[in-house]
Amino acid sequence: MTPPQHPLHRLNPAFQTPVRFSLMAALGPATEADFATLRELLDVGDSQLSKAIAHLEGEGYLQVTKGYVANRPRTWVAASKTGTKAFADHVAALREIAGGA
């Protein structure tokens, strides 16, 4: 019989930076936001946010849509179903750790 695994082994490295964690938390399961809104909400620079989005998109956790509004380029970001599940699992592991499980 395998001993129970400590929840730290279920933490997802994709969410272990404050910006990536906060980005996923801000998006939630059914939210889409544009780049400028996310930048202001998270209080980070363009470069930090761009890197976080690119990393999470590469993991398949974000869906990124590019387009134009009044001839100005815009980027919209939403969590994918895979990303929502992975983030929920990560948060559950954090709660277990914080609860002393």
- pLDDT > 90: what percent of the chain? 85
Mean pLDDT score, 23-39: 94
Instruction: Return the closest-CA partner of residue 81 out of 28, 5, 4.
Output: 28
Tens-digit pLDDT profile for residues 46-92: 999 999 999 999 999 999 999 998 999 999 999 999 999 999 999 99
- Structural domain spans, the chain: 13-98
What pLDDT, on the 0 to 100 scale, is given for residue 54? 98
What pLDDT, on the 0 to 100 scale, is given for residue 1? 66
pTM of the model: 0.90
CATH fold of 13-98: Arc Repressor Mutant, subunit A (1.10.10)
CB neighbour list of residue 43: distance below 8 Å, 6 or more residues apart:
none
